[in-house]
A = this chain, B = another copy of it.
Amino acid sequence: MSKKRVVIAGMGFGGLRAAKALAGSGFELLLVDRNNYHLFQPLLYQVATAGLEEEEIAYPLRGLVRGWKDTTFLLAEIIGINVADRTIRTDSEVISYDYLIIAAGSRTNYFGMDSVAKNAFDLKRLDQAEDLRNQILFMFERAERESDVRRREALLTFVIVGGGPTGVEFAGALRELIVYVLSKDHPTIASSETRIIIVEAANSLLTAMPDDLREYARLKLISMGVEVMLESKVIGATEESVQLFGGTTIGTHTLLWSAGVAAADLAGAIPGIERGGAGRIVVQPDLTIPGHPNVMVIGDMACCLTNGAPLPMMAPVASQQGEYAAQSIVARERGASLPAFRYRDKGAMATIGKSSAVAVTGGFKFRGYIAWLAWLLLHLFYLVGFRNRVVVMMNWTYAYWFQERQVRIITSKNRRSVRS
């Protein structure tokens, strides 16, 4: 009897965890991703702020699965899923499956604002982080030669839409890049000439955090020199400005959008399934699609209702669902079944700057140095691959002691494509 084939679509946190748990458990495993690496997305903002190199947060998938039994990796874009035929279609072939785990993650959601989509930077992919890094460095180069006061101000203004972890962490890291590094690289530009503005629609930053930690983060950012605009909504953008609801316009060439995500486009490529908010696929309590017990959706793509609300789109949810999906398939093959998926909330954390972070776990709240240290160790722990950890640790140590960042090169190919 030939082995049953499990196809996992997407090698993010969810897909990777499912693959690890299923490898060697009697299935033929086919892992599909459009990139040949697993991306450690939570640290993308450090690539964008010249703190880490791209390769340090991207781990080659073939290297990971090398020793795994009956496991194949396929570099391909999935363009259709046919749950009736039990096949997926890639850009080059059609592949059948016995079990399918859909884990293609999310894309940025501009909520239909085309002018923002066209002019904003984005922080979901590796090349986007590189683009943003090039942009930041290039704006300082341009500002050096700009004599018009207003235009110079716009070049040195950086607007971040969204006060979630990405926005907060990016803002803090950018501020430190400017104060410790760029102001020394550019003696004619004072740190005080630059502006970093977080624009957040809600009435606080980090809405997943307890009140006092939100406030701590806000005050800490302000003390670092970051402007925080709460209850403010972006309604449009041009190459040189961003418009807020109420009439305010801010001159900037660098607008980072981190205010919304939606399920990856693949969610729309499965005919006849129900989709919830942000285009996520509505799943049953066991993460399967109604009527198709051999198809599971996990991570950002899954709309998994818990106490009436969908689970948040974040790595821990994806990882736990990946583990569950794997166990569930193994159980089903033995004629058993698992109880419904239950998310174990282990807490949340966000780093704000050097020696400063907020964290909450199991009812305990931390902030400042201790939270920062916890953030650091946890991220190192979860980074895939021995060498990555060592190099990242080295970079961080170097940055910490020498207040220097190595990676501030403008890669020429992109400099040309940077808007000017």
Whole-angstrom distance between the Cβ of A35 and the nearest chain B Cβ: 6
Contact pattern, A 74-114, Cβ under 8 Å of B = 1, otherwise 0: 11000000000000000011000000000000000000000
Among A55, A127, A145, chain B packs the most CB atoms within 10 A around the CB of A55
Are A62 and B387 touching (Cβ within 8 A)?
no
A212 contacts the other chain (CB 8 A): no
Among A36, A63, A92, A138, chain B packs the most CB atoms within 10 A around the CB of A36
CA distance A74 to B185 in the complex (A): 12
Residues of B contacting A406 with CB < 8 Å?
55, 60, 385, 387-388
A211 contacts the other chain (CB 8 A): no
Residues of B contacting A261 with CB < 8 Å?
none
Given B60, B92, B387, B388, which contacts A408 in the complex, CB threshold below 8 Å?
B60
CA distance A145 to B91 in the complex (A): 12
CA distance A179 to B92 in the complex (A): 28
Looking at the complex, which of A21-29, A327-335, A410-418 is the stretch in contact with chain B? A410-418
Are A387 and B391 touching (Cβ within 8 A)?
no
Residues of B contacting A413 with CB < 8 Å?
127
Given B34, B66, B74, B411, which contacts A412 in the complex, CB threshold below 8 Å?
B34
Q: Which residues of A are interface residues toward B (Cβ below 8 A)?
A: 34-37, 53-55, 58, 60, 62-63, 66, 74-75, 92-93, 125-127, 130, 137-138, 141, 144-145, 184-186, 385, 387-388, 390-391, 394, 398, 404, 406-413
Q: Which B-chain residue is minimally distant from A90 (CB atoms)?
A: B145
Residues of B contacting A145 with CB < 8 Å?
74, 92-93
CA distance A125 to B411 in the complex (A): 10
Q: Which B-chain residue is minimally distant from A37 (CB atoms)?
A: B409
Are A185 and B394 touching (Cβ within 8 A)?
no
Q: Which B-chain residue is minimally distant from A134 (CB atoms)?
A: B36
Q: List 29 A-B contacts (CB under 8 A).
A: A35-B410, A35-B412, A36-B137, A36-B141, A36-B408, A53-B53, A53-B55, A55-B406, A55-B409, A60-B408, A60-B409, A62-B408, A63-B185, A63-B408, A74-B144, A74-B145, A75-B141, A92-B145, A93-B145, A125-B412, A126-B409, A126-B411, A127-B411, A130-B411, A387-B398, A387-B404, A387-B406, A391-B391, A391-B394
CA distance A361 to B388 in the complex (A): 38
Number of copies: 2
- 6 closest pairs, A vs B, by CB? A62-B185, A127-B413, A37-B409, A75-B141, A58-B409, A36-B410
Q: Which B-chain residue is minimally distant from A181 (CB atoms)?
A: B63
CA distance A186 to B63 in the complex (A): 10
Whole-angstrom distance between the Cβ of A51 and the nearest chain B Cβ: 11
CA distance A93 to B409 in the complex (A): 23
Known: A35-B410, A125-B412, A385-B406. 16 other contacts (CB 8 A): A36-B141, A37-B409, A53-B54, A54-B411, A55-B407, A60-B406, A60-B409, A62-B408, A66-B184, A66-B185, A92-B145, A127-B412, A127-B413, A130-B411, A387-B406, A391-B391
CA distance A271 to B125 in the complex (A): 46
Whole-angstrom distance between the Cβ of A381 and the nearest chain B Cβ: 19
Whole-angstrom distance between the Cβ of A273 and the nearest chain B Cβ: 27
Whole-angstrom distance between the Cβ of A411 and the nearest chain B Cβ: 6
Residues of B contacting A126 with CB < 8 Å?
409, 411-412
CA distance A127 to B134 in the complex (A): 13
